[in-house]
Amino acid sequence: MLATLQDVIAYLGQTVGLVGDAFGKFSSPTVLAYVFGGTLLGITIGVMPGLTATMGVALLTTLTYRLEAEAALLVLVCLYVGAIYGGSRTAILLNIPGTPANAATTLDGYPLARMGRAGPAMGTATTGSFLGTLIGMVFLATIAPKLADYALEFQTHEFLWLAIFGVLISGQLTAMDDPLKGWIAGFLGLAIAMIGQEGLYMTDRFTFGFTEMQGGIGLIPAMVGAFGFSEVIAVMYNRRAEIVRASVRLLDVVPDPREVLRYWRTIGRSGVIGTLIGVIPGVGEDIGAWVSYAAARRASREKEKFGKGSVEGLMAAETGNSAAAPGALIPVITLGIPGSAPAAVLLAAMVLHGVRPGPMIMIEFPSFVYEVVVMMLLAAFAILVLGIALTPLLLKVLAIPRERLMPIVFVLCVIGSYAIQQRMFDVWVMVVFGIVGFVLREMKYPMAPLVLGIVLGDIFDKSFRRSWVIHDGDFTFYLNRPISLVLMLLCAATLIMSIGPCRRYLGPKVEGAVQGTIGVVTGLVRAHLVLVALLFAALAALVGLPVRGLEAGGAGFARGVRLAASAYAGILRDAATAFGRGLAGLVIAPLADLARFARRPGPPSADRGEQA
């Protein structure tokens, strides 16, 4: 165990060293200008309802393609983090989420503003976003390199099931009320990716004789259309002419450090949840915020305040969505699969700048993960500084009429789509995706699975056919590969849980099992911490032997052992009970229900009725 602990400490030390090395690349004044410029632009985009982080990243990708790779990606990452944070201002002041990621922020942010506490609410949002980004960043720095090593084990079978699972889970989670529409969007995305020359035998598919279509549908023009042009149409469709008047003093917005101490559990929990949700393919920041908010509400001692102006709720939502941003970059860098829609554009931007994200990242670009970590860190500090210092200016941005802004956005959509390859075909793609994207969104089809489908299409196509060739269509082979099997089971579980009666019956039981598993993990972690404490106590007692005498040292050691053993046994007992309850809830209870259902008496027969 000590060896494991030593390994962990050595790994963390090595990570810190590599991050420090990466810092060296970002220490010039020009870099600071990029950081503050990108973050300010991101916050401004986030503040304006109708302009989203995805749209901002997509448009700026086309504007920065002439910059060097590090500079361009730095600006894009800062814009991404800034936009997710900036949306909280609009959510607090107008009750309209500036970006979809800030929808959960409206629940408590707006009531706080109505109570006259708009300034402190913005301070809380700043604290949450800053700490959320930092937590996600720590996970990015520590998990991504290990995941990339692990991903080297992935073969065609794993990638096939990962693609199917990504589309299913993204469709399920981004269209909670109607997973059917999420799945349709995902499979349509996969179908769109079939356009162009396929990658194995270079056969044209769905090109209809147009040479421009042989290269397939470009991700950036498609994203600019689906998230840029469709927003222009949507803003004009739901036109609102209100001018916001809000006055907030600068001092009110300064975050209160006491909040961090008071809500450290909520911040930690929301940061971890947000990051994990970010890692799930194609799900993104908005779901990260909702799940963090729900978890905070469940665990809070002030549940009744949630939805009526709870600082804890606001903190959870903002920490969750900001942590999801670095989380969404983990699968981008290690697997080449985006965790969210803005991350999909970042993936395209990385490819545009010569970086090849995927399992080979730690071999081909070993310092890249740490450079992205530094970019995240710089962006986090930039939102802290700009979020406080530019509050009055950012409030004025809200007053810009949409009718003045939208033609500029569209002009940038057109020139941005055109500029990369300098061909009008990409402009047509942008226009088609804009109109189709608007229609689909109005009919409640989520865009994230569609984008994920387009990204995963190539991987899915090649993996599907390769695995068919390798095993002559014998799909039982997937059952022999553990990762494939797990992914297949997850796909099956996603499908089963989307069926109404199954969800209603199994939902509470799965929740119980998850709670039980969390109990087991928490118990084991605590138990091992006690063991470590015990070892240190033993060491201290032994070291103390020559000074305090054999008797005193021996007695202290024995007492320490007794205490630690008793605590360890108690914790293990708790963990076992929690695990047992979870297992009983998930497996035994449904079986018992089934047996009861089979044994239930039928309707009284005519004979029995006569006897009665």
Partner 1 sequence: MPRADFLTALVLLLVALGLVAEGWRLPGAGGLIEEGGEPGRVPIFLGLVIAALALVLLVRAVGQGGHRLFAGEPLAPERRRMLVRAVATAAGCAFYAVGLLGRSIFGISLGYGWLTFGFILVFIVIAEWDLAPEISARRRRAIESRAPAAAARIAPRLAFVPAAWGPYAWLALTATLQAAAVAAVVTYVFEQQFYVTLP
Which positions lie near partner 1, rule CB under 8 A? Answer: 65-66, 180-181, 183-184, 187-188, 190-191, 194, 198, 200-201, 203, 205-206, 229, 232-234, 236-239, 241, 243, 401, 403-404, 406-408, 410-412, 414-415, 418-419, 422, 424, 427-428, 430-431, 434-435, 438, 443-444, 460-461, 464-466, 468-469, 472-473
Shortest separation between residue 450's beta carbon and partner 1, angstroms = 13
Shortest separation between residue 58's beta carbon and partner 1, angstroms = 16
Return the number of the residue (150 or 418) whose C-beta is nearest partner 1. Answer: 418
Dihedrals φ, ψ of 168, to 5°? -65, -45
253 in Cβ contact with 278 (< 8 Å): no
Residue listed under structure tokens 């297949």: 488
Return the number of the residue (148 or 452) whose C-beta is nearest partner 1. Answer: 452
Residue 343 buriedness (CB in 10 A; 0-12 / 13-18 / 19+): buried
327 in Cβ contact with 276 (< 8 Å): yes
361 in Cβ contact with 149 (< 8 Å): no
Query: Which two tokens mark 510?
Result: 């799965």
Shortest separation between residue 471's beta carbon and partner 1, angstroms = 8
Shortest separation between residue 569's beta carbon and partner 1, angstroms = 52
Return the number of the residue (237 or 597) whose C-beta is nearest partner 1. Answer: 237
Cα(212)–Cα(461) distance, rounded to whole angstroms? 21
Q: Please, which residues bridge with residue 197 across strands?
A: 204
Query: Which two tokens mark 312?
Result: 């804890």
Shortest separation between residue 522's beta carbon and partner 1, angstroms = 40
DSSP H or E run through 450: helix 447-470
Shortest separation between residue 113's beta carbon and partner 1, angstroms = 23
Shortest separation between residue 339's beta carbon and partner 1, angstroms = 23
Instruction: Indicate the angle between helix axes 103-114 and 311-335, nearest 10 degrees.
Output: 160
CA distances from 43 to 52, 101, 166 (A): 10, 13, 29
Shortest separation between residue 122's beta carbon and partner 1, angstroms = 25
102 in Cβ contact with 324 (< 8 Å): no
316 in Cβ contact with 295 (< 8 Å): yes
Return the number of the residue (203 or 605) whose C-beta is nearest partner 1. Answer: 203
Shortest separation between residue 532's beta carbon and partner 1, angstroms = 51
Shortest separation between residue 209's beta carbon and partner 1, angstroms = 13
3-state secondary structure of 338: coil
Return the number of the residue (143 or 495) whose C-beta is nearest partner 1. Answer: 495
DSSP 8-state code for residue 248: -
Return the number of the residue (188 or 388) whose C-beta is nearest partner 1. Answer: 188
Query: Which two tokens mark 336?
Result: 């080449």
Return the number of the residue (120 or 189) whose C-beta is nearest partner 1. Answer: 189
Shortest separation between residue 358's beta carbon and partner 1, angstroms = 21
3-state secondary structure of 207: coil
Return the number of the residue (194 or 584) whose C-beta is nearest partner 1. Answer: 194
Return the number of the residue (198 or 212) whose C-beta is nearest partner 1. Answer: 198
Shortest separation between residue 443's beta carbon and partner 1, angstroms = 5
Residue listed under structure tokens 């990339």: 148
Return the number of the residue (241 or 612) whose C-beta is nearest partner 1. Answer: 241
Residue 374 buriedness (CB in 10 A; 0-12 / 13-18 / 19+): buried
Judged by phi (left if over 0) then psi (alpha if -120 to 50, else beta), residue 597 lies in alpha
Return the number of the residue (233 or 315) whose C-beta is nearest partner 1. Answer: 233
Return the number of the residue (92 or 233) whose C-beta is nearest partner 1. Answer: 233
Cα(390)–Cα(377) distance, rounded to whole angstroms? 20
Residue listed under structure tokens 């009861």: 596
Q: Please, which residues bridge with residue 196 across strands?
A: 205
DSSP 8-state code for residue 243: -
Residue listed under structure tokens 């930039």: 382
Q: Please, which residues bridge with residue 204 across strands?
A: 197
